[in-house]
Amino acid sequence: MDKIKHLKCSKCGKTYGEEQMYHCPICGTKGTLEVVFDLTFAKKELTKEYLVSHQNPNIWRYFPLLPLKDIKEEIPIQIGHSPLYKASRLESLLNIDNIYIKDEGRNPTASLKDRASAIGVHKALELDKEIICAASTGNAASSLSGFAACMGLKNYIFVPHTIPEGKLAQLLVFGSQVILVDGDYDQAFDFCIEAVNHFGWYNRSCAINPYLVDGKKTVAFEIIEQLNFKVPDKVIMSVGDGCSISGAWKGFKEFYELGLIDQLPVMVSVQAEGSNPVNRAYRNKNREFDYITPKTIADSISVGIPRNGYKALNTLNESKGRAIDVSDDDILQAMTVLARHTGVFGEPAGVTCFAGLLKLVKEGAIRKDETVALIVSGSGLKDVKSATMAVSRPKKIKPELEGLISYLDEVKE
C-alpha cells in the first residue's frame, strides 16, 4: 500500500502523482507541492499505545508518516528528539502558567533544518541519485553537508562567493563539493536549479522540494508526545520562507486526523520587521507577496519573497493564527532574556519567536492559564558574532582585590 495519496499544489490546489518531482508545473516555483498522506497505514501503526511503549529517540519512529518508501540503512546520527523544557523561571517572569521551549539547537548540526535534510538525503538514496545538492549559505547547507558525509553521499553546495569563511569551512570540513558562485544568493540558487536540470542531481531545498516539510513536521509530533498528548494553546515560531511553520502545522493536523489529539493549536508567526512578507500578506488578506529587500540581523529568516509562502499563509488561515513583527532590537533583547532565564542560547532567527512572545505579553494577548510552546530553531553557536551585539563589554580591572570590591559595588552586585 502506498502511504502517499498525492502531491497537492499549495497555491492552486491541483494534485499530482509522485512523478512530479518538484513544484507545480502550472504555478511554477511559487507552487510548492504538499504531500497528502493516506492515513490508513499510519492509523494502524502510530497508535498512542505504540508511541508510549516505543521510545526510539529520533524522527524515524514516525516512519508511517514520512514520505519514504523504505529505509535500508538509517542515517546513524540521532536526529530529532530534541528536549522540551518547561521554563519555570520564564513563567514567573511573564506570569504565564506553562511555557515550553523546544530546543532545536540540540540537533546534530544544531538546527531544525536537520529534520528536513534527513528526509532529503534518504529521498536521494531512495531515488538512486548519486548526487544531492542545494543552494544555501546557512543551516540547510551545513545540515545537508553533515548527513551526506555520514552516508557517503556526494553533495554539491552552491553558495555566493561572499559566504563568511566560518560557514564555508564547515561545508568543506564535511567534504562537500562547494560551488563558489561569482554572483549573489539568487544567482547561486538559479544556477543550482539549472545544474540540477542538466545533470539530473537531486535538489534538497525546501523552496521546491515537496518532501522536506514532512521532516520538519516531526517537531510537532514530538511536542505532542513530550506533553503527553496535550496540545499547547499557542505554538510560536520564527518565520522566514514559511517552511518550518507549515511543517509544524502539518504535523499537528496529521496527529489530529489520526485521533491522537482532540484539538489544534493557534500558530503564531513571528517575523523580523525588515523581512515580514508572510505576515504582511496575512494581515492584508493578500494571496500575492510583494517584494521588499529584506533587512534583519536574523539571517536564517531574512527573505524577500517567501519560498513556501502559500503553505505559511494556509497555516495561519487554517489555525486562525497570529502574525507578529519584531524589530532587530527586540530580537537581540529576546536572546539575552531567554538565555538568562532558561540557559538556552539561540541564534537570532532562533529567538525571534521569543521576541514575539514578549510582545504578545506586553499587549496582554496571552492569558495566564494558556500553554505556550516556543520552537527555538537554531543554536547561538551558529552566529556568535550577532550575540556580541546583544551585550556590552565589561570594563577591564587589575587583578587586585580592592579593585574588584569597588568594581562589584559599581555594577551593583
Neighbours of 294 (CB within 10 A): 19
Cβ contacts of 347 within 8 Å, gap of 6 or more: 105, 111, 298, 300, 377, 378, 379, 380, 381, 382, 383, 386
For a second copy, the closer of residues 262 and 413 by Cβ is: 413
In whole angstroms, how close is the CB of 10 to a second copy at the nearest point? 28
In whole angstroms, how close is the CB of 227 to a second copy at the nearest point? 15
Per the CB < 8 A criterion, the answer to whether 66 and 240 are in contact is no
In whole angstroms, how close is the CB of 30 to a second copy at the nearest point? 22
> CA torsion, points 140, 146, 147, 151, in degrees to nearest 10?
150
Of 204, 215, 189, 4, the C-alpha closest to 124 is 204
For a second copy, the closer of residues 63 and 407 by Cβ is: 407
- How many Å apart are CA 179 and CA 191, to the nearest integer? 10
Neighbours of 43 (CB within 10 A): 14
For a second copy, the closer of residues 178 and 261 by Cβ is: 178
- How many Å apart are CA 217 and CA 80, to the nearest integer? 11
For a second copy, the closer of residues 26 and 397 by Cβ is: 397
In whole angstroms, how close is the CB of 45 to a second copy at the nearest point? 22
For a second copy, the closer of residues 33 and 87 by Cβ is: 87
For a second copy, the closer of residues 42 and 339 by Cβ is: 339
For a second copy, the closer of residues 193 and 303 by Cβ is: 193
CA distances (Å), origin 163, targets 45, 142, 188, 194, 275: 44, 13, 11, 21, 20
Give me the residue label for grid cell 556590552.
Answer: 392
In whole angstroms, how close is the CB of 358 to a second copy at the nearest point? 16
Give me the residue label for grid cell 546520527.
Answer: 77
In whole angstroms, how close is the CB of 72 to a second copy at the nearest point? 13
- How many Å apart are CA 131 and CA 217, to the nearest integer? 25
- How many Å apart are CA 347 and CA 337, to the nearest integer? 13
What one-letter code names the amino acid at 268? V
End-to-end CA gap in the chain: 66
What one-letter code names the amino acid at 242? G
For a second copy, the closer of residues 64 and 175 by Cβ is: 175
Cβ contacts of 395 within 8 Å, gap of 6 or more: 407
Q: 397 φ, ψ to 5°?
A: -130, 155
C-alpha cell of residue 23: 513544484
In whole angstroms, how close is the CB of 394 to a second copy at the nearest point? 5
In whole angstroms, how close is the CB of 2 to a second copy at the nearest point? 30
In whole angstroms, how close is the CB of 102 to a second copy at the nearest point? 12
For a second copy, the closer of residues 88 and 317 by Cβ is: 88
For a second copy, the closer of residues 146 and 306 by Cβ is: 146
In whole angstroms, how close is the CB of 298 to a second copy at the nearest point? 15
